[in-house]
Chains A and B, each alone.
Chain A
């Protein structure tokens, strides 16, 4: 049973380009969470999705950032017109259900560098 798979592991983009980060949850998991981590800092919640629905995007910037979790395929975090401040590690986690006693499993992250 493969864990949470994120790709690419490393992504370099020039300012103004688009970044697409992919997350395949663990088998049987229908809940996906995206977190952002700056160097030497903690993980900051961005968005929580279930299949085809965004449940909570309170941590996501209003502009340039979007997320989806289609019925088929991985969850995608999309950053348009990237700026240097978007450089960070982006982690995806998945869980089987939501609420208490629900452990979320994390992927290895995508490290985005904007040059």
Chain B
């Protein structure tokens, strides 16, 4: 759901390993979901999206999984690289407003 001022959880992975970042969304009426990547000092960048009529979508090295039953979204990054270090946000859209989750900071250890 919407960020409510909690500090970012952190995920630390070894370079080359797979990363899984999880997100719980709040609105069961949301029908479109996006994962964004935010690097330090920059705005969020689109990574991958998924509609509510799908449960999985794959991109290049990234996969998004959607479980509508428990309102859960995950982002899987294969063969994580140092350049993947960033904060990752899930976002839900139901109507016109995009609501962001709290975000997860990903550290990639060389």
Identify which of A4, A33, A44, A105 contacts B46 (C-beta below 8 A): A105
Say yes or no: is B93 at the interface (Cβ < 8 Å to chain A). yes
Interface residues of A, Cβ cutoff 8 Å to B: 4, 31, 33, 35, 38, 40-45, 48, 55-56, 91, 93, 98-109
Say yes or no: is B83 at the interface (Cβ < 8 Å to chain A). no
Interface positions of B from 44 to 103, Cβ below 8 Å from A: 44-46, 49, 51, 89, 93-103
Interface residues of B, Cβ cutoff 8 Å to A: 2-3, 5-8, 31-32, 34, 36, 41-46, 49, 51, 89, 93-103
How far is it, in angstroms, between the C-alpha of A43 and the C-alpha of B5 when the chains are bound?
9
Q: Look across to chain B and name the residue whose beta carbon is closest to the beta carbon of A111.
A: B41
A105: chain B residues at CB < 8 Å are 46
Q: How far is the CB of B107 from chain A (nearest CB, A)?
A: 14
**Helix, strand, loop or mixed for chain B's interface?**
loop
A103: chain B residues at CB < 8 Å are 34, 46, 49
Cβ-defined contact, A101 with B2, below 8 A: no
How far is it, in angstroms, between the C-alpha of A41 and the C-alpha of B101 when the chains are bound?
10
Beyond A41-B7, A42-B3, A106-B45, whether A99 also contacts B95 by CB under 8 A is yes
How far is it, in angstroms, between the C-alpha of A48 and the C-alpha of B93 when the chains are bound?
13
Q: How far is the CB of A93 from chain B (nearest CB, A)?
A: 7
How far is it, in angstroms, between the C-alpha of A106 and the C-alpha of B44 when the chains are bound?
6
Cβ-defined contact, A101 with B44, below 8 A: no
Q: Look across to chain B and name the residue whose beta carbon is closest to the beta carbon of A31.
A: B96
A38: chain B residues at CB < 8 Å are 5
How far is it, in angstroms, between the C-alpha of A100 and the C-alpha of B43 when the chains are bound?
21
Q: How far is the CB of A30 from chain B (nearest CB, A)?
A: 12
B94: chain A residues at CB < 8 Å are 100
Cβ-defined contact, A35 with B100, below 8 A: yes
Q: How far is the CB of B23 from chain A (nearest CB, A)?
A: 11
Q: How far is the CB of B86 from chain A (nearest CB, A)?
A: 13
